[in-house]
Structure 1
Amino acid sequence: LIIHTITAYSNDTAVIVTPTLSTYYFVEVRIGLPRVDAKYCIPLSANQPHQHIHVGKTLASGFPSLTIHTTTVSSNDTAIAVMPTLSAYYFVEARIGLPRFRVKLALSTSTPTTWVQSADCVVCLDVPSKSMNFDPADGFEPVLGDDSKYCVPPVAKTATLGDPCRYVLGFSQGILGNDTFSLVSPPSTSSPPPSLEINHFIFGVGKQNMVNFGAHSPIVGQLGLGKGHPSSTLSQLNISRFSYCLPPSNSNHQNTTATLEFGPKAGLTTAYYYNTPIVEGPPDNPFDYYINLIEIAINNASVYTPSKQRERGEPGFVIDVGATVTLLYKEAYIRVKDAVMEYLSSNFGLYPVYPSRPVSKPPIYELCYYNQDLESITTLTYPNISFHFEGGAVLQLPESQAFHNFVDELQTCLVMIPRTGTEPSRLGASQQRGWRFTYDILQSELSFAPNGC
């Protein structure tokens, strides 16, 4: 990937995010001994004098595996690459322990605590090889159950003196502990890969992991970017602002770099952006980033206004880079689906596949059209779908992010899914591509800008 221009300043951290073949983004970390002296910045080679990074009391360097045209960072700044998988997850690479054990972690803004699958897992992720799982026997130090700082609800369950602290994240359960942890760039043939070393980093080693990253996915855990717990990655780094950009999937953006940045100036290199407040979620869900959805529009005509549904108990709207696609509150989904069907039928005489076949497990998309019907209309255009948020912020989805062509199934589908119950609507990673999202926890503000990669 190519980083064209990334500028960071004092007290900032930029980490390169690497996309997987799916839509999860991951970073690399390192865990274990030897403990790296965190007071010094290791210089790069002479032809890369300005790409070293020093983050607080941690060590980092540039990213020689990428072609960096103009990257300027200063003391307390870091940048790390993000890679997409063939599915809809984005991940970063990390290293843990001694010897350095490389893992791929999916980005998650709904999970505060970073976790990695244990070698002795009972319920395990479907990884290509068991050798990809982390062995906690090498340097991992469990947090004790009576630790009043980290072993606290709702992430961790307190225990008796001397017993290890257990964490429960819903889809992953295991032991909370610490080790040396590094976020790194992909390896380079010309020089060793750089890293951001964090000593005594608190993370989970998962024994029961129920999340589905896809069959034989290389992802073995998550980099937690959620808020609201002492064990969160952000709390441990003492950072209240971060930013990422997931590049578009079309061929015109092959050289676009996905980046994850941390610090007061993260995301500020973007010239134009929308702002909307981050609001408090329900007490039982403090980790997510909730924002106020004002309306959903199709071709600039409002089809759904959530304020009219709040008395029915609508659970809110969340930005979630860890979700592969957008999940909409059922009432909102029905309105969007009906409007798309009406547009395609009235303008082009197109009618959906009924009943729609499941084109992906999971998820199952409800609104699909046969590709041969779509391809027979040379003047075909898809409806514009836009999300309007408090403060005048508007996120308009390009055609490639609202609809997807499933070649093997011979269908093109609206890549949104209805959800019921008390779970909030979630804007997933597939619909975030091509935009830079910046989270400012201190100011309770979310900013996003088009073409931010």
Structure 2
Amino acid sequence: MEIKIRYLITLFLFSFPIASVSLVNNGFRAELSHVDSKSNLTQTELLYRAATRTKHRLSRIKRMQLFSSTNITSNMHSEVPTLGEYYMDLAIGTPPLLYSAIADTGSDLIWTQCTPCKKCVSQPTPIYNPSKSSTVSSIPCNSTVYIDLCSVDNPPPSCFCSYNYTYGTGWTSGTLDKETFTFGTSKSVSVPNITFGCSTSTSDDFNGSAGLVGLGRGELSLTSQLNTSMFSYCLTSFFDTNSTSPLLLGPLAKFSGTTVKSTQFVKNPSMVPTNTYYYLSLQGISLGTNNLAIQPAAFALQSDGTGGFIIDSGTTFTLLVNEAYIAVKSAIESIVTLPVADGSTVGFDLCYFVGSSSSPRSMPNLIFHFDSADMVLPEDNYMVFVNQDLWCLTIFSSDISLSIFGNFQQQNFHILYDVDKEVLSFTPANCATI
């Protein structure tokens, strides 16, 4: 199927109106559910699906680096057709229609599937019908505000804005509209005039989801449109399929304490005035007291916008450029004496065989040395029992110059994105109790 691809790390030189005063002053809480939380999968199946999604995510970003504004043919299909990791509950329209969408810090656009469908995928809730809402409004395709996203060349004055938004291996297309959205759990907040994609065609990659909520740094993201200065989340343990994870926006997101560490975001110099991803300055990695031989340049963001190290809620397992991955892998191999096992059938690159007469040694902490802040990962955040026989490393090699800090490594850390101060803060936490 041919789709028109537009390079979507796009510059929007405008600002959105401030949302309701109560939202800005008080903030709200939403719940995040893991995409596999209701699937009754075994531990091995959960990990295999997560490994597949991680590699799918990397291929998506790799393809985005090759995009141009020309037509290409996409035949890619994933064994696990889900581009996100956590669902966020929200509602759209008047009267409000409840649905769940992927929450993603690595993208911007908010969208949901709409009728009449040209190509819609399965979703657990009814599909939004704009004709049944009293608060929806269309955006004309000659809008100067959305000129970079509306896909009509030389549009007549009476047409509406249509868009094609690509995620590399996944895509959505439809019309760009405005609507009232309702957020929150115990105290809901309704916000009018949120710009969103009313998707009438969606790739199979989003099967099972009703859409996506972008939490990136671009002007179309939820955080930008709500004009909120900060948000935070705390992801519960990966295998805790019964608990939801809190997503806090506005002042509710803030936390403090002696264990809180903070580091500055790094701006991508090739994208002015903003960029989607949240880049961090990673100086090195240690395994216990062993400072690994990785040059800081391995994680540096280049002047042309390549390279760098991002934190991403939509990638499960951390991806390191090959130099850094080899150093981590070699350090683990130097202290683990168990027999090496083939983990490829379950999606992992480095695994050990744990027999009935053997057990893994207690592993030292894996420490990520960010600028001014060390994130100390316990063993459970980087080594995992896939089944009773396999014990595997949950870090993969990246075959591009970009490294990604995944959500498996973020579990049981409360993580705050202060978008005004350009600071990421984090602290260990029991996320199930927040």
TM-score normalised by L of structure 1: 0.69
Asked if the contact 1:277/1:445 (under 8 Å) is kept, the reply is yes
Rounded Cα–Cα distance in structure 1 between residues aligned with 2:301 and 2:93: 49
SS in 2 for 1:358: helix
Instruction: Measure how far apart 1:280 and its partner are.
Output: 0.8
For 2:348, which of 361, 365, 369 is the aligned residue? 365
Superposition map of 1:237-316 within 5 A: 237-249=226-238, 258-264=245-251, 266-281=253-268, 283=270, 286-309=275-298, 315-316=307-308
- Please, which runs of 5 or more residues in structure 1 have no aligned partner? 1-54, 61-73, 186-192
SS in 2 for 1:386: strand
Rounded Cα–Cα distance in structure 1 between residues aligned with 2:362 and 2:242: 24
In structure 2, what residue type is equivalent to 1:135? N
1:75–1:357 Cα change, 3 Å: closer
Any idea what the Cα deviations from partners look like across 1:254-298, whole Å, max 9, x if unmatched? 77x632222256322455311111011253681000011100111
Instruction: Measure how far apart 1:128 and its partner are.
Output: 5.6
Rounded Cα–Cα distance in structure 1 between residues aligned with 2:202 and 2:226: 26
Superposition map of 1:195-210 within 5 A: 195-210=188-203
Asked if the contact 1:97/1:179 (under 8 Å) is kept, the reply is yes
1:226 aligns with 2:185: no
Superposition map of 1:14-413 within 5 A: 57=20, 76-86=26-36, 89-119=85-115, 124-125=120-121, 127=122, 132-139=126-133, 140-149=136-145, 151-153=146-148, 157=151, 159=153, 160=155, 161=157, 162-170=159-167, 171-174=170-173, 175-185=175-185, 194-210=187-203, 212=205, 217=208, 219-229=209-219, 231-249=220-238, 258-264=245-251, 266-281=253-268, 283=270, 286-309=275-298, 315-344=307-336, 349-354=337-342, 356-359=343-346, 364-370=347-353, 372-373=354-355, 376-378=357-359, 380-391=361-372, 393-407=373-387, 410-413=389-392
Rounded Cα–Cα distance in structure 2 between residues aligned with 1:438 and 1:311: 22
SS in 2 for 1:180: strand
Rounded Cα–Cα distance in structure 1 between residues aligned with 2:88 and 2:360: 40
Instruction: Measure how far apart 1:388 and its partner are.
Output: 0.8
- Please, which runs of 5 or more residues in structure 2 have no aligned partner? 1-17, 37-45, 51-84
In angstroms, what is the RMSD of aligned CA positions?
3.2
Any idea what the Cα deviations from partners look like across 1:332-388, whole Å, max 9, x if unmatched? 1122122212221xxxx313224x3331xxxx3211223x43x53356223422211
Counterpart of 1:446 in structure 2 is 424
The size of the alignment, in residue pairs, is 355
Higher strand proportion: 1
The 10-residue stretch of structure 1 (437-446 or 324-333) with the greater mean CA deviation from structure 2 = 324-333
Rounded Cα–Cα distance in structure 2 between residues aligned with 1:278 and 1:451: 22
Higher helix proportion: 2
Asked if the contact 2:109/2:214 (under 8 Å) is kept, the reply is yes
In structure 2, what residue type is equivalent to 1:202? T
TM-score normalised by L of structure 2: 0.72
Rounded Cα–Cα distance in structure 2 between residues aligned with 1:132 and 1:417: 37
Instruction: Measure how far apart 1:113 and its partner are.
Output: 1.9
Counterpart of 1:435 in structure 2 is 413
In structure 2, what residue type is equivalent to 1:133? I
Asked if the contact 1:172/1:206 (under 8 Å) is kept, the reply is no
Rounded Cα–Cα distance in structure 2 between residues aligned with 1:123 and 1:331: 42
1:308–1:94 Cα change, 3 Å: closer
1:118–1:340 Cα change, 3 Å: farther
